[in-house]
Structure 1
Amino acid sequence: MDLKGVILAAGNGKRLRPLTNTRPKPLVPVAGRTLLEHNIDKMIAAGIDNIIIVLPKNTTLQLSVYLKGHYPNITLDFVEQMQVLGTAHALDVAKSQIGASDFLMVYGDNLTGYDYAKLIKRHKSNVASATMALMHADEPWKHGIVEINGARITDIVEKPENPKSDLAFAGMCVFTPDIFEAIKHTEKSPRGEYYLTDSLQLLIEWEHQIGYAILDTWRLNVNDHKDLLKANKLLLSEEASVHSDVVNQNEQADMFHIIPPVFIGAEASIGDNAVIGPYVTLENAAIVGENTRIENSILLSRANIGNNCSIANSILGENSCVADEFHTSESESVALVLGDGERNSEFGVRNAELFP
């Protein structure tokens, strides 16, 4: 059974601004890859070479040129969700591209250490209309929560006020085309959206079997800057599965020091006596000045940090600039976010978001 892959990546990324002011959310980078590339890579690793991506409106040209250049040996198709009407609606707009094939669907802002091949294997071993990936949720009222009986899911409720379990939908599911008939009959939620969990609940009510697999590793939904930094840390900690350029050993260069794990892109420049890491991503041509210390941060391409700085828990956009002698607060959350081309100065942060 050859499966197609479907990535729902039509979110607008409001909570990731200012990064998403100049790029679609799927192209936000973390740990040396964009959000979308992390999911494509995992699908390819699971044996999928035909992938349909549901995008925000007016983004197909930008994303298709970028992705087809990076993935010339697989089939990539693109479809736009013209109105943001929920996950079931997003999947339905890809119906004609999916055709009669079973398919693995993942949310595009989902990142995980889970091997998609395990979910596919579980689905192939079941006679089921869908096989859902589940996780134990710390805050189940924020998720689509399921109840199980043996090998079957018996109930699904989206964001219940009084959850009956902590097993939540983890944003990954293998479907048969049966799901499209359920989507056709799915009612709009009070928020004005059509939820896939409601469509799955319809299949249960129609006595279709819904199977499941429980994740054996981490999973994160990237919604905001804090999530992005957490994802960076988790992905870099799995250096072997991220990218060969991830440094995973202490490295003392002649003039600077690296504390692993870090990702260092091509042509990145590191000044004398700088200390980089742990959990730092330096994208291509990023610049770090002399005597500067960086940890738990992401610098996008050509971001420039001056001399004698101390930067932690921060995200710097492309071509952004931090002046000499700048020090972020000792925040355990997000300290500084600069959008593309933004800069601060010795007089304080300007054109940026500064977090306490």
Structure 2
Amino acid sequence: MIGLVLAAGAGRRLRPYTDTLPKALVPVIDAEGENGRTVLDLTLANFAEVGLTEAAIVVGYRKEAVYERKDALERSYGVRLTLIDNDRAEEWNNAYSLWCAREVIEEGVILANGDTVHPPSVERTLLAAQAAGGPGTGRVILALDTVKKLADEEMKVVADPEKGVRRITKLMDPAEATGEYIGVTLIEPGAAAPLADALRTTFERDPQLYYEDGYQELVHRGFRIDTAAIGDVSWVEIDNHDDLARGREIACRY
């Protein structure tokens, strides 16, 4: 099992930071210093905390900034890094970005979005859910916030205890949802090929679709996707400056 971070996005709502940096490298802790810790730092620290020693990062927009920091990140977190180029990061959405990592997913991964500030308890919850499920090689388990009050913008999930995920989309009445997918997934090796095929179908249908639409494609094909509730945990997806302020507040607690 290795870590995987999607860090190819531009994050235009976070300008001026993202004039020169990808969203994953926007400073979160010690934000005014040159060596401020970023979402990418926090995610790699989480991976190290749960015993992962390798990680892959999908890069695209301003990828040179990640390449420049690669060695320092490896030294800081003791995690060997592989960088994967997304050649369409500024044109297409993240269904294609995750597909770019299809060979890495064959090793089994904990996937984390490059804009999600969360504690390592999320990764531990996913690993515990995997262990509780017994032997298996093809499971997909989504980290789910079942506590937060939902609105229109959240990636909402309807999950059935017996059948797993039924729907995953932003385009849903919040009252219908079981919870919110927080952007962290455990994917076992046996799910890599079905997921890659579902992602290809998804971005070929519409390059602007999300990888969560690829998850929905998997569900439509009869593939079971499970969820693990993360409990009452503070986290945030950083899309804009208000989110960034919230992320800075949360990150100081961990």
Taking structure 2 as the reference length, what is the TM-score of the superposition? 0.83
What is the Cα deviation at residue 36 of structure 1?
Answer: 0.7
Q: Does residue 1:64 correspond to 2:67, yes or no? A: yes
Q: Which residue among 223, 235, 238 is the counterpart of 1:208?
A: 223
Question: 2:211 maps to which residue?
Answer: 196
Deviations 1:237-268 (A, max 9, x none): x1xx3xxxxxxxxxxxxxxxxxxxxxxxxxxx
Q: Is the 8 A contact 2:118 2:236 kept in 1?
A: yes
Q: Is the 8 A contact 1:10 1:55 kept in 2?
A: yes
What is the Cα deviation at residue 52 of structure 1?
Answer: 0.5
Question: 2:114 maps to which residue?
Answer: 108
Structure showing greater Rg: 1
Q: Which amino acid aligns with 1:135?
A: D
Q: Distance in 2 between the 1:70 and 1:103 partners?
A: 19
Q: Is the 8 A contact 1:8 1:107 kept in 2?
A: yes
Q: Is the 8 A contact 1:5 1:51 kept in 2?
A: yes
Deviations 1:196-218 (A, max 9, x none): 22211222222222111112211
Q: Which amino acid aligns with 1:63?
A: V
Q: Distance in 1 between the 2:21 and 2:171 partners?
A: 34
State the Cα RMSD in Å: 2.1
Q: Is the 8 A contact 1:138 1:166 kept in 2?
A: no
Task: Flag the structure with higher helix content.
Answer: 2
Q: Distance in 1 between the 2:50 and 2:102 partners?
A: 22
Q: Which amino acid aligns with 1:170?
A: I
Q: Is the 8 A contact 1:12 1:24 kept in 2?
A: yes
Task: Flag the structure with higher strand content.
Answer: 1
Higher RCO (Cα < 8 Å, 6 or more apart): 2
Question: 2:21 maps to which residue?
Answer: 23
Counterparts in 2 of 1:185 and 1:88: CA distance versus 1, 3 Å: same
Question: 2:165 maps to which residue?
Answer: 154
Counterparts in 2 of 1:14 and 1:199: CA distance versus 1, 3 Å: same
Moved more, 101-110 or 79-88: 79-88
Question: 2:56 maps to which residue?
Answer: 52
Counterparts in 2 of 1:234 and 1:7: CA distance versus 1, 3 Å: same
Q: Is the 8 A contact 2:14 2:239 kept in 1?
A: yes
Q: Which residue among 184, 199, 205 is the counterpart of 1:183?
A: 199
Q: Which residue among 66, 74, 82 is the counterpart of 1:77?
A: 82
Deviations 1:103-130 (A, max 9, x none): 1101000011351122122123334530
Structure 1 unmatched runs, 5+:
242-356
Question: 1:14 maps to which residue?
Answer: 12
Three-state SS of the structure 1 residue aligned to 2:51 is coil
> How much identity, in percent, do the aligned residues show?
21
Q: Distance in 2 between the 1:91 and 1:225 partners?
A: 25
Counterparts in 2 of 1:156 and 1:188: CA distance versus 1, 3 Å: farther
Counterparts in 2 of 1:170 and 1:188: CA distance versus 1, 3 Å: farther
Q: Does residue 1:165 correspond to 2:177, yes or no? A: yes
Q: Distance in 2 between the 1:53 and 1:187 partners?
A: 20
The aligned runs of 1:1-356 (5 Å cut-off) are: 3-32=1-30, 33-59=37-63, 61-72=64-75, 73-84=78-89, 85-96=92-103, 98=104, 100-115=106-121, 116-126=123-133, 127=136, 129-136=139-146, 137-150=148-161, 152-163=163-174, 164-176=176-188, 177=192, 178-186=194-202, 192-216=207-231, 217-236=233-252, 238=253, 241=254
Three-state SS of the structure 2 residue aligned to 1:89 is helix
What is the Cα deviation at residue 58 of structure 1?
Answer: 4.8
